[in-house]
């Protein structure tokens, strides 16, 4: 059974890590039901969605239905389980548009709020990670 994943940064279609995301995209864009702080962080300008619901802005992203192998690859890219990694957890999103849509639960990659040093913030909070932001992104050195 596929897992629904909300992607807000480099895993979006046409963005630097999209090749890792082999899921089937749901049509349209979605936004987090709650506000979350989305920042570009560090010298690599990595997009961080902090696990601090109720602060920041509702964040626009995409929803994908992914199989187990793709989810494992996405977890590896996002360093789930590593001290400096993201935590994959459930959040609620709604279709992004003029008309309010029905909320539903998805998985998302969030950074623990206590891991962000204020001096590492390069930009944000943001409502959406754009191609202009992605142009600043630098991949992790091997």
Dihedral sign, CA of 123, 128, 129, 132?
A: negative
**Measured between alpha carbons, how far is 84 from 80 in angstroms, rounded to an integer?**
8
List Cβ neighbours of 63 (8 Å cut-off, separation of 6 or more): 4, 5, 6, 7, 25, 26, 30, 93, 106
- Name the catalytic one among 33, 43, 62, 78: 78
Pairing of strands 24-25, 3-7: unpaired
Distances (CA, A) of 1 to 74, 78, 99: 16, 22, 30
Known catalytic residue: 78?
yes
Active-site residue numbers?
Answer: 78
């Amino acid at each position: 059974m596929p897992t629904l994943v909300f992607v807000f940064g480099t895993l979006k279609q046409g963005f630097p890590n999209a090749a890792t995301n082999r899921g089937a995209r749901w049509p349209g864009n979605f936004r987090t039901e709650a506000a979350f702080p989305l920042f570009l962080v560090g010298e690599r300008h990595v997009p961080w969605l902090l696990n601090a619901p109720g602060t920041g802005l509702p964040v626009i992203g995409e929803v994908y239905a992914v199989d187990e192998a793709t989810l494992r690859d996405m977890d590896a890219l996002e360093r789930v389980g590593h001290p400096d990694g993201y935590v994959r957890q459930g959040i609620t999103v709604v279709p992004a548009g003029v008309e309010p849509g029905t909320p539903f639960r998805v998985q998302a990659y969030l950074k623990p709020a206590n891991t962000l040093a204020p001096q590492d913030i390069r930009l944000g909070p943001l409502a959406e990670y754009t191609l202009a932001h992605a142009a600043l992104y630098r991949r992790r050195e091997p």
